[in-house]
Amino acid sequence: MSRRMGRRGVAGFLEEVPAAWIVITALFLFFAALYTGLNDFEKRQQNQTFADQAGLLLHDMRGYVNLTYQGQVGTFDVFKVLNLTVANITYDFHPSYGFQVVITDISSYPHAWLTQPKIVETSVPPSNLNGLKQGLVSAETTVDIWFPGAPYGEYHTADLAVEVWN
């Protein structure tokens, strides 16, 4: 250790150690905060991307060729609705998550071909959301269903709901 003596006092290595520790601690805290912030941002981005999946599936279902009546987006054919299966949706959309599609006739007509909600699902939505990686997200909209019962057919209002989970 080299020390220099003079009129003002002693200067040496040991006086610089506390200052170095303060700088090292500050840098450590800065990088830890940076890592935590970026990790949180990435998780939020992944959750938002997954949340968009319900809306995207809902949008795709409105124009799904195996549901629409004469290719009209948002207008379904009752026979296609009754024949819709999970195999059709899985084959055409290849979802990497569990889903449930529910089509319910909500019109005020006293008669309907769709007396019960049409439910198409990969499995029953989980009741315990703690075991899910990204949670459960739902979206819904209104569509029309064409029924051929009347002389010129009838358009019934229906609710199209989609739930996705992962």
Residue 47 lies in a domain: yes
- 3-7, 58-62, 103-107, 150-154: the lowest-pLDDT one: 3-7
- Counting beta carbons within 10 angstroms of the beta carbon of residue 160, is it exposed (0 to 12), middle (13 to 18) or buried (19 or more)? buried
* pLDDT at position 24 over 90: yes
- Mean pLDDT, range 4-31, rounded to an integer: 80
| Cβ neighbours, 10 Å, residue 25 | 10
CA distances from 125 to 14, 25, 46 (A): 65, 48, 21
Partner residues linked to 142 by β-bridges: 159
Choose between 48 and 37: higher pLDDT.
Answer: 37
Residue 136 lies in a domain: yes
Is 78 inside any structural domain? yes
pLDDT at 133 over 60: yes
Position 38 pLDDT exceeds 90: yes
Within a domain: residue 75?
yes
- Count of the separate structural domains present in the chain: 1
Integer Cα distance of 68 and 88 in angstroms: 14
pTM score, whole prediction: 0.67
Q: What contacts 75, CB < 8 A, 6 or more positions away?
A: 68, 69, 143, 144, 145, 146, 155
Domain that holds residue 112: 29-165
In a domain, 128, yes or no: yes
In a domain? residue 20: no
**2 falls within a domain:** no
Residue 69 lies in a domain: yes
